[in-house]
């Protein structure tokens, strides 16, 4: 069974608590923001350096599967976020609803999508290709969706400017990492455990700076306990809907069992590793804490739910093999 709280989730909770008790402000906040921006650039540089071209090409032939995953990630998820607005807005604060909407526009995870697909005995090469494509395309698609839907309908952000900011702060380091892979790829592949700390450390830095600014702006005074309870329920319902839809859709379209598993795990997940750094670029600091809060909660819920689901798929496969 999945752990209720893993070490990284405990670190996230501790970081939120620290920012709530000792928020960073003034010159210290300016300096920490600079360090955070450098950490994010390093994060995406290493993501580029880790990405093997062979891994991308291995599952590229499954174009129907990739279209379904990308459609669920960047079309179905945002559509649900918008269609559920009349129900969600009375339950949540305006900023938390924006966080849900932003969550719906994010790319899929990479590591956990692949890990769950492997655990459930799905199509791992296709999962590698699909999750990787989702993250690369998300660098462009997520800010475009934010500019078109969030800015247009909610007046948050700065129009098309964030798209250029994403390209400069995230895409260029990613491309530089891809170029540098020729020289540092072997070292990166041998030190994946060490590089995980860069991933998690950069996320914790963004969370601390985001919640510091949000706390100073009155985050907890403006977020009643009822809204937090509603946020938990909304995340559970949203994940349940996407898991159900991806299961039924993949069966209806006639995919093999292995491909169905890949679609379920790649098409229903959202990336904390990409979402938190992008949010820092796309949204103003005072709103950032409320906007990343739904994503942090969704991250833990999807890990727990998908662990249980992957174990169920594996048991079913073993039972079918025995018979």
One-letter-per-residue 3-state SS of 272-296: HHHHHHHHHHHCCHHHHHHHHHHHH
Instruction: Give the closest residue to 211 by CA, choosing from 34, 19, 28.
Output: 19
pLDDT of residue 119: 87
| pTM across the whole model | 0.84
Taking only Cα atoms into account, the Rg of the chain, rounded to an integer number of angstroms, comes to 19
* CA–CA separation, 276 and 284 (whole Å): 13
* CA–CA separation, 60 and 46 (whole Å): 22
User: What are the helix (H) ranges across the chain?
Assistant: 7-21, 26-50, 53-58, 63-71, 77-83, 85-91, 94-104, 111-119, 124-145, 152-154, 161-166, 172-190, 192-216, 219-222, 225-252, 257-267, 272-282, 285-322
- Reading the chain (323 residues) residue by residue, the pLDDT tens digits are 445 567 888 888 899 999 999 999 888 988 998 898 888 888 888 877 877 766 556 556 788 999 999 999 999 999 999 999 999 988 998 889 999 999 999 999 887 888 899 889 898 888 888 888 898 889 889 988 988 887 654 545 455 555 666 667 777 888 898 899 889 988 988 887 777 788 788 888 888 988 888 888 888 887 888 999 999 999 999 999 999 999 999 999 999 999 999 999 999 999 998 898 888 888 877 778 889 999 999 998 998 899 889 989 988 888 877 76
pLDDT of residue 164: 67
The residues near 222 (Cβ < 8 Å, ≥ 6 apart) are 93, 95
How far apart, in Å, are the Cα atoms of 279 and each of 225, 251, 288, 302?
24, 34, 7, 20
pLDDT of residue 1: 41
* CA–CA separation, 109 and 98 (whole Å): 20
DSSP-assigned letter for residue 108 = P
Pull the structure tokens for residue 11: 């670190």
Q: What angle is formed at CA 182 by the lines to CA 180 and CA 185, rounded to 5 degrees?
A: 85
């Amino acid at each position: 069974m999945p752990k209720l709280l893993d070490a990284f989730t405990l670190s996230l909770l501790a970081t939120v608590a620290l920012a709530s008790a000792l928020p960073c402000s003034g010159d210290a906040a300016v300096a920490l923001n600079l360090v955070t921006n450098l950490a994010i650039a390093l994060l995406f540089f290493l993501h580029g350096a880790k990405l093997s071209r062979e891994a991308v090409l291995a599952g590229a032939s499954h174009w129907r599967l990739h279209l379904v995953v990308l459609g669920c990630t960047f079309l179905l998820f945002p559509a649900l976020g918008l269609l559920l607005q009349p129900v969600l807005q009375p339950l949540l604060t305006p900023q938390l609803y924006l966080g849900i909407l932003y969550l719906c526009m994010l790319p899929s995870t990479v590591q956990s999508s692949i890990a769950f697909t492997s655990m459930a005995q799905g199509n791992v090469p296709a999962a590698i290709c699909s999750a990787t494509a989702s993250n690369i395309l998300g660098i462009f698609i997520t800010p475009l969706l934010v500019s078109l839907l969030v800015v247009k309908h909610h007046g948050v952000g700065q129009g098309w400017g964030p798209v250029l900011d994403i390209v400069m702060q995230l895409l260029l380091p990613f491309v530089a990492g891809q170029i540098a892979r020729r020289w540092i790829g072997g070292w990166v592949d041998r030190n994946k455990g060490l590089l995980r700390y860069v991933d998690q450390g950069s996320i914790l830095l963004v969370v601390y700076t985001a919640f510091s600014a949000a706390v100073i702006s009155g985050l907890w005074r403006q977020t009643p306990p009822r809204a937090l309870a509603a946020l938990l329920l909304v995340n559970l319902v949203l994940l349940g809907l996407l898991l159900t839809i991806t299961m039924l859709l993949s069966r209806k379209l006639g995919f093999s069992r292995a491909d169905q598993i890949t679609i379920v795990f790649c098409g229903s997940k959202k990336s904390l590793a990409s979402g938190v750094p992008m949010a820092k670029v796309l949204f103003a600091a005072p709103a950032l804490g409320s906007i990343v809060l739904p994503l942090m909660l969704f991250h833990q819920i999807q890990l727990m739910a998908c662990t249980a689901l992957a174990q169920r798929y594996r048991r079913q496969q073993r039972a079918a093999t025995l018979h």
